[in-house]
Amino acid sequence: MTTLADVYRGRRVLITGHTGFKGSWLALWLQELGSALAGIALAPASIPNHWTLLNLPLDDRRLDVRDGAALAQALTEFQPEIVFHLAAQPLVRRSYCDPIETWSTNVMGTAHLLEACRKTASVRAVVVVTSDKCYENHEWPWGYRENDRLGGHDPYSASKAGTELVVASYRSAFFSAPDAPLLASARAGNVIGGGDWSEDRLIPDLVRSIQGNAPLAIRSPDATRPWQHVLESLHGYLLLGQKLLEGDRAFAQAWNFGPEPEANRSVAEVLDRVRRDWPALRWRITSEPQPHEARLLYLDSAQARSRLNWQPVWTFDQAIAATTDWYRAWLERGSVLSRQQLGAYVATMSATLPRRVCA
C-alpha cells in the first residue's frame, strides 16, 4: 500500500505561486509529508495573507514566472523532481482591467516554466493547475468533461484555455520521449477555505464586509458554481503527481477535480449556509452594470474518481463550516487553524479512503 507520505517524503518539490491562497495550503501539506520544498512566486498580494501567517521554512524565491532566465536559473539551482505550477493571475474581474498581465502571466509564464523544466534534467513530473473556467461555457446543466471544447469569454478564462493549449503542445512536441518528464494539467472548481484574501471572491469579500460592519454587495446571487474546500483539489493534485512520479504515462493528460453534485450551489445558497454559522453576515443585491461572468458551470470528475481513486472527502456543509471556523478563529482570537484543519481533513480521508492515507 503506497501512501502520499511514501511518495513525497524527501522528494525535491517546487511550487510556483506558493505565496498565494492555494499554493500556501499545498506548501503546508507537502511540508507535513516531509518534502524538501522550494517556492517561486511574487510577494503575497495582500496583507494579511495565508503564506505569511503559516511562516513555513522553505527555499523561498521571489521572481516573476514571465522572467524566463531567472526561472531557468532557479530550477537549475534547486533541481526539483516534481513541479506544481500554480503561479497565475487568478481573478476574472482583474483580467478585464489588465488583460495583458493576465495573458502574459498565465500563458507565457506557463511556457517559460515548461521550457525551464524541459532543460532541467532532474524534473520527472509537472502538474500545471489551470481552472474549470478553461471550457467554452454553454451554460449546460451537466458537467464538462476533459475532452470538451476549450474557450473563454473574459481574458482570465480564455487565458486558462490558452494555458491548456501550451501544456498540450509541450506534451506532444517535447515531452513525448520515453525518458521525458510526464506533464499533466488539473482543472478544479471554485475553491474555498481559510486564508484567502483575494479581491472579488465571495468568501474574502464576505469577511471584509463583516470586518467593516457593512452589507456585502452581491452581483449575481443566482450564479451557480461547483464549491469545494481547497484541500479537495490539492488532494487530487497530489494523487496525480504520484502517478506521474511513478512513470505512468497514461496519466499525463488533463484532469477535472470537482465536488459532488450537491455542492453545485448558487451564490445565495452559499451565503445562507454561511449565515447559519456566522449570523453577522448581511448582504444586498447590486444593480450596477457588471462585466460578463458565467452564471452556470459544473465539472464532471468521473475520470479522477475511476482512475485516480479520488473523491471529495468533505461535504458542502463541512467545507463551509471549516471555512467559517477558520476566519472566525483568526478574527476573534488571532488563531490560524490551517494545520488543525489539514489534520482533520486527512483523518477523514484516511477513514473513507484507506488506500490514500496521508501520514
> Has residue 311 been placed in a domain?
yes
Please identify which residue in the block is written with the cell numbers 483568526: 330
Give this prediction's pTM.
0.94
Is the C-alpha dihedral spanning 142, 148, 150, 153 positive or negative?
A: negative
pLDDT along the chain (359 residues), means of 10: 88 98 98 98 94 96 97 97 96 90 96 97 98 89 91 93 98 94 94 92 90 86 89 98 97 95 89 89 76 72 96 95 96 96 95 55
As for how many domains the chain has, the answer is: 1
Q: How confident is the model over 14-34, as pLDDT tens digits?
A: 999 999 999 999 999 999 999
**Range of 169's domain?**
4-191+229-261+295-356
> Has residue 67 been placed in a domain?
yes
> Has residue 290 been placed in a domain?
no
> Has residue 203 been placed in a domain?
no
Q: How confident is the model over 118-147, as pLDDT tens digits?
A: 999 999 999 999 999 999 988 787 889 999
> Has residue 289 been placed in a domain?
no
Q: What is the CATH number of the domain that holds 309?
A: 3.40.50.720
Which residues are bridge partners to 126 per DSSP? 83, 183
Q: In sequence order, what are the residues at sequence separation of 6 or more whose Cβ sits closer than 8 angstroms to the Cβ of residue 289?
A: none
> Has residue 266 been placed in a domain?
no
> Has residue 283 been placed in a domain?
no
Q: How confident is the model over 198-211, as pLDDT tens digits?
A: 888 889 999 999 88
What is the rounded CA–CA span in Å between residue 257 and residue 312?
A: 9
* Secondary element (H or E) of residue 16: strand 12-16
Cis geometry, peptide bond prior to residue 80 (ω within 30 degrees of 0): no
Amino acid code (one letter) for 61: R
> Has residue 210 been placed in a domain?
no
CA dihedral 210, 279, 195, 9 (to 10 degrees): 170
In 252-283, which positions are buried (b, 16+ CB within 10 angstroms) versus exposed (e)?
Answer: bbbbbbbbeeebbbbbbebbebbeeebeebeb
**CB of 26 closer than 8 Å to CB of 2:** no
Predicted local distance difference test score (pLDDT) of residue 294: 61
In 119-153, which positions are buried (b, 16+ CB within 10 angstroms) versus exposed (e)?
Answer: ebeebbbbbbbbbbbbbebeeeeebbebebebebe
